[in-house]
Structure 1
Amino acid sequence: MVTPLDPADIRILTALQEDGRLSNADLAERVGMSASSCWRRVRALEEAGAIERPGVRLNPEACGLGFQAIVHVSLVRHEMRPVEDFIRAVRARPEIQECYATTGQADYHLRVLCRDLAAYNAFLEEFLFRQPAVASAQTNMVLRAIKTRGVLPI
């Protein structure tokens, strides 16, 4: 069961979403708490799973990953073993940044980052189209990002 967030938790989580590199002292000052109380709450939020992991967000283009696509994948079979194999393979590929199982026309939607179109083509030919469960894939190239990740509306 998920414990409801109180106002102090919400202030902490909002501040960390805006700047995950805040020191504990700066975070405590920003949310109006003592440093020790803030630290205990952050640890409790981590243990409860509200904070998945701290980290730095990288700019894909600045890191040489200028090609981004949303790939809609349909499976040929939905038996447990082929689906599990597909999921395991998807999780192992660093080009695949996100994968969602959805309702609708496609079974899975992948967000894929590659160096360029040639690298994406190699990804398709050497990986995706070799997955036994994959029946088809439709690619939508990302022309520009409008909003990439917002602050959760908690």
Structure 2
Amino acid sequence: MNSRRISKLILLVAIVTLTFQALAQNAPLFPKGELATTKTHVGDVWLSEVSGPDSTFAFSIAQAVFAPGARLDWHSHPGGQILLFTDGEGYYQERGKPRKTIRKGEVVKCQPGVEHWHGATPTSGVTYLATSPAKGKTIWLQRVTDEEYGTKK
């Protein structure tokens, strides 16, 4: 294993360790962040950058906090993304697959180029840490319908 991979692994282990320590204490990991003003979601979503990419680490880490009922539009990541759920209950769905309920302490790996969406359930907010390699910007697609979200039968 080369030194760059070891450094990435050490950083990921540190993040996971801090995450689970805070979960055990029921304490927030990071400040809530700023209310997102983009048109790529429904409901209230707060975002904060925890760590940006630099000359050593070619990936970023961000925290997203969703109010109950909030969700992102369909999208994909050219380099993939890993979501570490730190609080609440949410949904994750890949195009053409059933929607999954995700809870605090679970991890989701969004594969490169796979269309998906994620967000809170109608009755619970959700918070996660997201890490993504710096391999292109998120590709935003159409809005998640009420039927896809599960609030309209």
| TM-score normalized with structure 2 length | 0.26
Structure number with greater Rg is: 1
TM-score (norm 1): 0.26
